[in-house]
Copies of this chain bind each other. A is one copy, B any other.
Amino acid sequence: MKNRTLINELKNKINEEVTIAGWMHRIRNLGKVAFLLLRDRTGMVQCVLNPNEIEMIKDLQVESVLKITGKVVETPKGDSVEIQATAIEIVSPVKEMIPVEINKDEIDAHMETIIDHRPVTIRHPKQQALFKVQAGILNAFRNAMVDEGFTEFRSPVLMSAPSESGASVFEVKYYGDKAFLAQSPQVYKQIMVGAFERAFTVTPVFRAEKHNTTRHLMEITQMDGEMGFIENYDEVLEVIESVVRKILESIGEKNKTELDLWQATLPKLPEGRFPKVKVKEALKIIEERTGRSSNREELDLDPEDEREIAKWALEKYNSDFLWLLNFKKDKNFYTWNNPEDNDESLSFDLECRGLEWLSGTHRIHDYEKLLENMKKQGLSLEHYEHYLEAFKYGIPSEAGFSLGLERMTQQIFELKNIREATLFPSDLDRIAGQRISRVKKEA
């Protein structure tokens, strides 16, 4: 639309005639006059309609798409503007009531209903806000990674073998063969270190989990980085801290409106480096504070532990962030265990307000050691030709990490369920947000 004025530009056009376009968000019809709230991507404005115009739209339901021409006037209070409509054009009439009301401050519906009707509910300002911030996170992550010298690459989704041993994998019919959906970009980002030293990717990953939880989905978006030429993994932590700082600064600045709609407070960043504690020590601190024994089967924290150690970090370092270091020995083939402590792997999690945001490990770059581990796990090496070739021909000492986009969005807004931060979630009951129908299930 060549002559369209966006709603957030109206304040600069007082007393001018303009044409705006958008959705009929709400209407209050008083008979001789009606007040129609029109919504576009930049905001909402009240339009005052005369009886002829009311007649035109009287059978329309909210969410009808309209073009409205009229004069921009200041509201009596002078704190905003409204439109004295002179012409209305119906772009897309809506004839039925929408299934979920989206013109109140809150959507009064259960999460499942919000997802069932995503095409409508995504139009609610608070729902839009979640995904605008998600877009902001993506953008800030990539910019920060480029600033740190990382090169972006596209990691394949179709793989010839499962990318992680043990984890559940989706199988794809691939002509006469089988392919698998990537559970992580691990293999490829490690290969990329051989060329770019620092590589990152934003990619969908897939886990065929058999249970429904509030924290897991079958398809999520991972933001992954891998960094070569390190002497120890602390060098990677330093880079991650800078990236996380930049993401929060960026969305704090560019998405203030969206965060304010939810009254979301961004996590508190410490002054300098983020505090760090080894899992072994963390368990002792928890024991001292709560009396709960620090004896766990393995070096790991349960959700209660995570909340407690988060409190400790906030009290002691005034930080919502905390590094947990050196978890139990890793089951995967590519992580170094700690040569100085037989219980530990060289691993790290970034916790925010007691929830995991990111995890990573110091990788094995020694070809012989990698081969030995893979054989021990009974992996069929012919599926790892590419991976092994990278290490056979020289990869520096390196570490990498992975951040979940949906989980990060969820935690910034303190949402209860990861599904709330996912446009079209796939789980045991849904594929891309649509319910798996009974008809289909029985077929």
Contact = CB atoms under 8 A, between A and B. Distances in A.
Interface of A: 1-2, 4, 21, 23-24, 40-41, 63-65, 91-94, 96, 98-99, 117-120, 122-123, 127-128, 131-132, 134-135, 138-139, 142, 146, 149, 151-154, 156-160, 170-179, 181, 188, 191-192, 194-198, 203-204, 206, 208, 218-219, 221, 229-231, 235, 365-367, 382-383, 385-387, 389-397, 405, 423-424, 426, 428, 431-434, 436-437, 439-441
A156 B424 contact: yes
Q: Number of copies of this chain in the oligomer?
A: 2
A436 B92 contact: no
B179 A431 contact: yes
A389 B397 CA distance: 52
A210 to B, nearest CB: 8
B382 A439 contact: yes
A339 to B, nearest CB: 17
Given A91-B397, A434-B160, A128 B196 contact: yes
A139 B147 CA distance: 12
A340 B11 CA distance: 40
15 contacts: A2-B235, A93-B394, A118-B191, A119-B191, A122-B192, A127-B195, A128-B196, A154-B423, A156-B204, A157-B204, A174-B436, A177-B431, A179-B426, A179-B431, A382-B437
Contact of A153 (B135, B142, B389): B135
A386 B434 contact: yes
A151 B177 contact: no
A123 B194 contact: yes
Given A390-B119, A395-B92, A156 B405 contact: no
B65 A153 contact: no
A256 B208 CA distance: 44
B431 A188 contact: no
A432 B395 contact: no
Contacts of A230: 1
Contact of A405 (B40, B119, B154, B428): B154
A170 B174 contact: yes
A392 B170 contact: no
Quick one: which of A235, A386, A436 has the most chain B CB within 10 A? A386
Given A1-B230, A40-B197, A41-B149, 13 more contacts: A1-B235, A91-B397, A92-B367, A128-B196, A156-B424, A156-B433, A157-B204, A160-B436, A170-B179, A172-B172, A177-B431, A179-B426, A386-B433
B432 A393 contact: no
Contacts of A176: 441
Contacts of A231: 1-2
Contact of A440 (B120, B159, B177, B386): B177
A440 to B, nearest CB: 6
B118 A138 contact: no
B94 A393 contact: yes
Given A206-B158, A229-B4, A389-B120, A394 B64 contact: yes
